[in-house]
Amino acid sequence: MNEYSLKYGCNPNQKPARIFMAGGGDLPVEILNGRPGYINFLDALNAWQLVKEIKEATGEVAATSFKHVSPTSAAIGKPLSERLKKACFVDDIAGLDDSPIACAYARARGTDRMSSFGDFIALSDECDETTAKIISREVSDGIIAPSYSKKALEILSAKRKGNYNIIKIDRSYKPENTERKQVFGITFEQGRNEFKIDENLLTNIVSKNKDLPIEKKKDMIIALITLKYTQSNSVCFAGCGQAIGVGAGQQSRIHCTRLAANKSDLWNLRQSDRVLDLKFAADIGRPDKNNIIDLYLSDADYPDLLSNWRKYFAVRPEPFTREQKDEYLKTVSGITLASDAFFPFADNIERAAKSGVKYVVEPGGSVRDDLVIEAADRYGMVMAFTGMRLFHH
């Protein structure tokens, strides 16, 4: 197949729409089910590159959850603790421990469930039955993977009344070195970003603290590859083999950092006893549970939530005060922070420190690098400079 027609482009008025190989030849993708749209394919192809590169860099299976051409999270297939399973809403999934790819997606989806609502999924390896079972009960637009087990394809094909978008991609496909796109009738051309992200990129440690464990290097790699496919400006927080807070598409880097840090804080608070012990009313569905948790953790909204607790909870929860949340977050440490371009001011480091960041990786090159390094040293952080910007537009 060398062309697929699409329902419309980014918006319903943008017709006709299609994907095709400009130089001729067959597309590297096959639609197995559904009718993916223009934005679906933008998500799918960016997401596939991300998980493919994480797999190549770490040697471990990877998954990502994409929304509007940026990842909400990305993760490798590390096993989940019982606590983490509950936080990710997968504590009832049988066989999870035996499926690394299911663990990867459970982590990626569970990190920022608000942003992942209606996601497009990419898997570095075959989608198995366990992964399909997780996906089957989530609100999702589609998936791209190199292959699907027979049972997984059966489960996914039944989703959304048989209209769930399932794309198979040729794992061996390699695009041309030059890429083009049009804006306002004008063609842009550039070399593809083939910059390789691996451990060799992390040797220039500019902080006084030089202790960078292998697992933290892996977190840095995951965060940097995530940023490579995130709309810029962007900042990513990572921990335990997954991106836990992505701040994408902000004009100011400190706003990226604040956004990513707030998401990281929420992810860590969701693993607290206060949240894991919530007793929901019997008729509360999964998306609503997630929204209720978000309100419970919101300083502005949770008092009203508690005043109407019988609508949401079987047992009235205790308030989770700002002071209690701050105390809990003080126990969080060892988080990694990555940036797609240099930090122009030390305020990014100051904000990151409040969210438990101890490892930082960024390109360097600011006229204020000395002040940024000084701030990192003040908090005992390990800071590595890569020398390479990772803008993505």
pLDDT digits (tens, 9 = 90+) for 25-43: 899 999 999 999 999 999 9
* 255 catalytic residue (yes or no): no
Measured in degrees and rounded to the nearest 5, phi and psi for residue 209 equal: -80, 120
pLDDT of amino acid 174: 94
Q: 218 and 253, same structural domain?
A: yes
Q: Could you tell me the CATH number of the domain that includes residue 109?
A: 3.40.140.20
Task: Collect all residues with Cβ–Cβ distance below 8 Å to 13 and sequence separation of at least 6.
Answer: none
Q: Which of 33, 40, 52, 67 is catalytic?
A: 67
Residue 55 lies in domain: 3-174
Whole-model pTM: value is 0.96
Same domain, 295 and 235: no
Catalytic residue among 33, 165, 233, 268: 233
Total domain count for the chain? 3
Same-domain pairing of 283 and 138: no
Q: Do 12 and 151 lie in a common domain?
A: yes
User: b/e for 326-343, b at 16 or more Cβ within 10 A?
Assistant: eebbeebeebbbbbbbbb
- Residue 6 has a pLDDT of 94
| Co-location of 147 and 249 in the same domain | no
The stretches of 137-213 forming alpha helices (DSSP H) are 150-157
Any domain includes 183? no
28 located within any domain: yes
What was the pLDDT predicted at 25? 86
- Amino acid identity, position 215: E
Task: Give the per-residue pLDDT at 277.
Answer: 95
Do 58 and 117 lie in a common domain?
yes
Final residue of a domain: which of 130, 158, 174? 174
365 to each of 344, 369, 388, how far by Cα in Å?
A: 9, 7, 9
392 is catalytic: no
Which segments in the chain show pLDDT lower than 50?
none
Whether residue 67 lies in the annotated active site:
yes
In a domain? residue 121: yes
For residue 166, tell me if it sits in a domain.
yes
Instruction: Identify the domain boundary among 174, 209, 236.
Output: 174
Angle ∠(67,328,344) on CA atoms, nearest 5: 55
Q: Are residues 151 and 280 in the same domain?
A: no
What is the phi/psi pair of residue 29, to 5°?
-120, 150
Q: How far apart are CA 220 and CA 202, in angstroms?
A: 8
Are the C-beta atoms of 260 and 253 separated by less than 8 Å? no
Reply yes or no on whether 193 is catalytic: no
Taking only the tens place, the pLDDT of each residue in 246-281 is 999 999 999 999 999 999 999 999 999 999 999 999
Q: Is residue 187 part of a domain?
A: no
Helix or strand (DSSP H, E) at 380: none
Evaluate whether residue 69 is within a structural domain: yes
In angstroms, how far is CA 102 from the centroid of its own chain?
15
Same domain, 222 and 119: no
What pLDDT does 301 receive? 72
> Is 230 in the same domain as 259?
yes
Domain-located, residue 29:
yes
Q: pLDDT tens digits, residue range 110-146?
A: 999 999 999 999 999 999 999 999 999 999 999 999 9
Residues 124 and 107 in one domain: yes
Residue 90 lies in a domain: yes
Residue 307's pLDDT is 84
Instruction: Please tell me whether residues 337 and 309 are part of one structural domain.
Output: no
Within the chain, how many helices (H) and strands (E) appear? Answer: 14, 15
Q: CA 197, 201, 202: angle at the middle one, nearest 5? A: 125
Catalytic one of 150, 161, 174, 393: 393
- pLDDT value of position 204: 97
* 15 and 78 co-located in one domain: yes
Bond preceding residue 319 cis, omega within 30 of 0: no
Options 68, 151, 255, 392, the catalytic residue: 68
